[in-house]
């Protein structure tokens, strides 16, 4: 089963630009997490935002959470070639359910 829907499904931007990915979900959650996955590799945990938080920062990452709209966004500022990867939101209730993901491609 899948909880989250990310949009866009794919995103190509120039290096140095900001990348924004959105995630919507359906049921109530304890927290929401964002992960990165390089092609053929494992998951890298980026950031966790709890249901009572609205915004969180970590380096070039900014995550927002709107529980009334059941949505979250991930902003990557000043993108780099190394940011090219798939990004997944994952909601946690009694288990973690992943969204479909956004494939981000940073153009040199």
Q: Which residue ranges make up the site for other proteins (CB under 8 A)?
A: 1-2, 40-43, 45, 88, 92, 95-101, 103
Report which of 76, 74, 104 is spatially closest to residue 89, judged by C-alpha positions: 74
Least distance to other proteins, CB of residue 101, Å: 5
Min dist CB 74 to other proteins, Å, is 15
Comparison of 50 and 54: residue with beta carbon closer to other proteins? 50
Distances (CA, A) of 104 to 12, 63, 82: 6, 16, 10
Closer residue to other proteins in complex, CB, 2/18: 2
Cβ atoms of 92 and 35 within 8 Å: the answer is no
Nearest approach in angstroms of CB 23 to other proteins is 11
């Amino acid at each position: 089963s899948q909880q989250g829907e990310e949009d866009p499904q794919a995103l190509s931007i120039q290096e140095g630009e900001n990348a924004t990915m959105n995630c919507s979900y359906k049921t109530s959650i304890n927290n929401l997490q964002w992960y990165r996955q390089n092609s053929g590799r494992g998951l890298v945990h980026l950031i966790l935002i709890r249901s009572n938080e609205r915004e969180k920062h970590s380096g070039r990452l900014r995550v927002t959470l709107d529980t009334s709209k059941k949505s979250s966004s991930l902003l990557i500022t000043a993108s780099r070639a190394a940011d090219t990867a798939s990004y997944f939101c994952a909601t946690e209730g009694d288990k973690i359910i992943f969204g479909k993901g956004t494939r981000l491609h940073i153009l040199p």
